[in-house]
């Protein structure tokens, strides 16, 4: 009897340990993440462009026009362990920008330099490494440099010829990689590289002292703000973002026609059916031979998709600017390339610039953004995917830019989304269905796609009133947003989730005083319960005219609360 009793105890203990292991695995997303990501998508049948979404959560069925093929996902979970309602994002994209803890930030909230040239060897900065979040940000991008090793971006004397610029570089042991005049900022800027093996700081100091050099800085690194997408599929037309943003109602009135959006991103597949006839212009700032990229194609789709899917402004025109590239999967860019891209957008008729990328505070790009905003362009950027403890990322934290954070289908903040008083708005950015290269589709997440949706909403407002000034447009989006989280403005959602229909209704189709008359406008300005009935709100906006009284653009050193 004693032997049987001991055997029973051992069996019970073994069973308990198995259950415990399964529970731990489920909580960590180990071997469960993929199945849960598939299961969380509703089963959908879409006969038209506007999907009807069943609220039930079940295995995903993907049906494509090319044949009656059905793919059903079978969960790999034990029947006794139910999948969690929302998958915790355990895997972060390699495209996250490096972050650091408070002890390793400077007065502006930026990460201090890393050793071995982590900030291009910036002068006077500490070489300490981030310790507190080392495990959380232990990704390839977090270990990469904030700037390109041994490279400078310098404003040089505009009177110098190319031959003279090359001679200037040789005098200081440098090579001129590229240089050109940028009308946007009224300056000639060159990209230079150290070629004689001298320490970065020595070369920087000597080059900056030359009378032909007006300013000098590192060539900073920028990365796209998406989560690693699943492998491109044949598509699933589920688009909960449409209902969240009230796009079908807004599209009864406007579609973004005759509005031009510059997309500064990776390569876009202009041949994709979702993007047919939407790409008005192409500019490859990299002068590369790379093909289309999944990120750029997805961003363009969030704005102008118009086949099986629906973008936020399906009739807008896209200027496709390739500024991000690379062979390692995570496309990246630099100060010099972003400057070229902004200059092209401003010089070629863009009205809106979508910037779904992030980097450090960058004096040259701050200057270019101020000049772009002064021309009356609307600038929209991804808040960043570096998480709650990240310092502000740029260009989103620039006060001239509308910074957008990401939400999921339950209106919760995307776990990787940046926070801060510079967040202006939120928009759907978790499990977003978008085009992918070669006629395929993808499911992906990130503040990149939230920003793209808002860029499309901005295009709707400009079609509604072409003379709408950027500050009036920003205020309209803020006043009509659907409040989320803590009542009023907060550091997660800004003024709330964008409401395309309410915003369009708040803008008159002529130059009269804007009055919001949208039924069901849901901006919550206090702690009271939201009313279901129509709401009328007068928006105290600046003048709508874009041709006069252009206000001076602020260039505050710190992110301004909006």
> Where along the chain do its domains lie?
147-219, 225-506
Pair 301, 312: CB distance under 8 Å: no
The HSE-up count of residue 244 (CA atoms within 13 Å, CB side) is: 26
Which of 351, 397, 366 has its CA nearest to residue 185?
Answer: 366
Pair 53, 238: CB distance under 8 Å: yes
Distance between CA atoms of residues 366 and 351, nearest Å = 19
Q: What is the 3-state secondary structure (H, E, C) of 325-359?
A: ECCCCCCEEEHHHHHHHHHHHHHCCCCEEEECEEE
Exposure letters 215-249 (e unless 16+ CB within 10 A, then b):
ebbbbbbbbbbbbbbeebbbbbbbbbbbbbbbbeb
Distance between CA atoms of residues 72 and 62, nearest Å = 8
Distance between CA atoms of residues 386 and 100, nearest Å = 10
**For this structure, is 448 an active site residue?**
yes
Give residue 24's pLDDT.
41
Residue 374 structure tokens: 């002064």
Which one from 295, 356, 405, 499 is the annotated catalytic residue?
295
Which one from 119, 265, 269, 408 is the annotated catalytic residue?
265
Give residue 442's pLDDT.
92
Q: What are the distances in angstroms from CA 214 to CA 153, 155, 175, 364? A: 11, 5, 18, 12
Which of 413, 438, 429, 393 has its CA nearest to residue 490?
Answer: 413
Pair 387, 99: CB distance under 8 Å: yes
Which of 562, 237, 242, 240 has its CA nearest to residue 404?
Answer: 562
Give residue 10's pLDDT.
52
Pair 92, 227: CB distance under 8 Å: yes
**For this structure, is 265 an active site residue?**
yes
Token pair 């610039």 in the structure block, residue? 353
The kind and range of the H/E element at 402 are strand 402-407
Say whether pTM exceeds 0.85: no
Token pair 């990322």 in the structure block, residue? 393
Give residue 521's pLDDT.
39
Which one from 266, 390, 417, 448 is the annotated catalytic residue?
448
CATH superfamily of 147-219: Peptidase S8 propeptide/proteinase inhibitor I9 (3.30.70.80)
Token pair 């909403």 in the structure block, residue? 457
Q: What are the distances in angstroms from CA 287 to CA 74, 291, 340? A: 45, 12, 11
Question: Distance of alpha carbon 189 from its chain centroid, rounded?
Answer: 27
Distance between CA atoms of residues 22 and 26, nearest Å = 6
Pair 302, 449: CB distance under 8 Å: yes
**pLDDT tens sequence for the chain (562 residues):** 444 455 554 555 544 554 443 444 444 343 332 222 223 333 333 334 444 333 333 333 333 343 333 333 333 333 333 333 332 222 223 344 444 444 334 444 444 443 333 333 333 333 333 333 333 333 333 334 688 888 999 999 999 999 999 999 999 999 999 999 999 999 999 999 999 888 989 999 999 999 999 999 999 999 887 755 544 444 444 689 999 999 999 999 999 999 999 999 999 999 999 999 999 999 999 988 888 999 999 999 999 999 999 999 999 999 999 999 875 556 889 999 999 999 999 999 999 999 999 999 999 999 999 999 999 999 999 999 989 888 999 999 999 999 999 999 999 999 999 999 999 999 999 999 999 999 999 999 999 999 999 999 999 999 999 999 999 999 999 999 999 988 999 999 999 999 999 999 999 885 444 433 333 433 333 333 333 333 333 334 444 444 343 333 333 334 444 4
Pairing mode of beta strands 357-358, 213-224: antiparallel
Extended beta strands in 90-229, E state? 147-156, 174-182, 187-194, 213-224
Token pair 């050793």 in the structure block, residue? 115
The 10 Å Cβ neighbour count of residue 421 is 16
Pair 462, 449: CB distance under 8 Å: no
Give residue 373's pLDDT.
97
Distance between CA atoms of residues 111 and 97, nearest Å = 11
Helix or strand or coil: residue 507?
Answer: coil
Residue 265 structure tokens: 């991103």
For domain 225-506, give the CATH number.
Answer: 3.40.50.200
Which of 107, 212, 108 has its CA nearest to residue 159?
Answer: 212
- List the Cα angle 262/264/265 in 5-degree steps: 135
Give residue 325's pLDDT.
87
């Amino acid at each position: 009897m004693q032997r049987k009793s001991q055997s029973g105890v051992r069996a019970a203990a073994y069973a308990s340990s198995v259950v415990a292991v399964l529970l731990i695995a489920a909580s960590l997303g180990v071997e469960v993440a993929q199945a849960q990501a598939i299961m969380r998508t509703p089963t959908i049948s879409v006969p038209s462009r506007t999907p009807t979404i069943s609220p039930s959560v079940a295995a995903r069925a993907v049906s494509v026009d090319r044949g009656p093929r059905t793919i059903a996902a079978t969960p790999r979970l034990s029947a006794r362990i139910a999948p969690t309602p929302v998958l915790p994002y355990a895997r972060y994209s390699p495209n996250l920008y490096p972050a650091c803890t408070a002890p390793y930030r400077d007065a502006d909230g930026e990460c201090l330099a890393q050793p071995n040239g982590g900030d291009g060897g910036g002068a006077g900065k500490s070489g300490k490494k981030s310790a507190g979040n080392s495990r959380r940000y232990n990704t390839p991008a977090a270990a990469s440099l904030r700037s390109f090793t041994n490279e400078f971006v310098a404003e040089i004397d505009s009177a110098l010829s190319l031959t003279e610029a090359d001679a200037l570089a040789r005098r200081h042991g440098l090579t001129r990689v590229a240089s050109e005049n940028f009308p946007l900022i009224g300056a000639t800027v060159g990209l230079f590289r150290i070629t004689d093996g001298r320490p970065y700081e020595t070369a920087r100091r000597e080059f900056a002292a030359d009378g032909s050099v007006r300013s000098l800085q590192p060539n900073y690194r920028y990365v796209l703000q998406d989560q690693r997408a699943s492998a491109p599929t044949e598509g699933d037309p589920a688009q909960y973002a449409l209902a969240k943003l009230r796009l079908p109602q807004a599209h009864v009135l406007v579609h973004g026609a005759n509005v031009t959006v510059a997309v500064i991103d990776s390569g876009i597949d202009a041949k994709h059916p979702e993007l047919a006839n939407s790409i008005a212009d192409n500019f490859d700032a990299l002068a590369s031979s790379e093909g289309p990229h999944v990120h750029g194609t997805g961003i363009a789709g969030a704005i102008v998709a118009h086949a099986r899917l629906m973008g936020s402004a399906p009739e807008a025109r896209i200027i496709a600017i390739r500024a991000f590239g690379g062979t390692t999967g995570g496309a990246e860019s630099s100060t010099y390339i972003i400057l070229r891209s902004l200059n092209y957008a401003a010089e070629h008729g863009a009205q809106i610039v979508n910037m779904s990328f992030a980097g450090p505070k960058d004096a040259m790009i701050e200057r270019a953004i101020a000049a772009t905003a002064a021309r009356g362009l609307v600038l929209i950027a991804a808040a960043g995917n570096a998480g709650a403890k990240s310092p502000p990322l740029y260009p989103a934290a620039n006060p001239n830019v509308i910074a957008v954070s990401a939400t999921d289908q339950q209106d919760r903040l995307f776990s990787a989304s940046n926070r801060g008083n510079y967040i202006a708005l939120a928009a759907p950015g978790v499990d977003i269905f978008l085009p992918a290269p070669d006629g395929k589709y993808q499911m992906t997440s990130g503040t990149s796609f939230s920003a793209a949706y808002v860029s499309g909403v901005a295009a709707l407002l400009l079609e509604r009133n072409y003379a709408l000034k950027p500050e009036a447009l920003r205020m309209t989006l803020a006043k009509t947003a659907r409040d989320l989280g803590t009542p009023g403005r907060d550091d997660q959602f800004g003024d709330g989730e964008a409401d395309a229909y309410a915003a369009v209704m708040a803008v008159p189709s002529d130059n009269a005083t804007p009055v919001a008359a949208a039924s069901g406008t849901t901006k919550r300005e206090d702690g009271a319960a939201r009313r279901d009935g129509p709401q009328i709100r007068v928006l105290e906006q600046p003048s709508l005219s874009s041709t006069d009284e252009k206000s001076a653009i602020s260039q505050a050193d710190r992110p301004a609360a909006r």
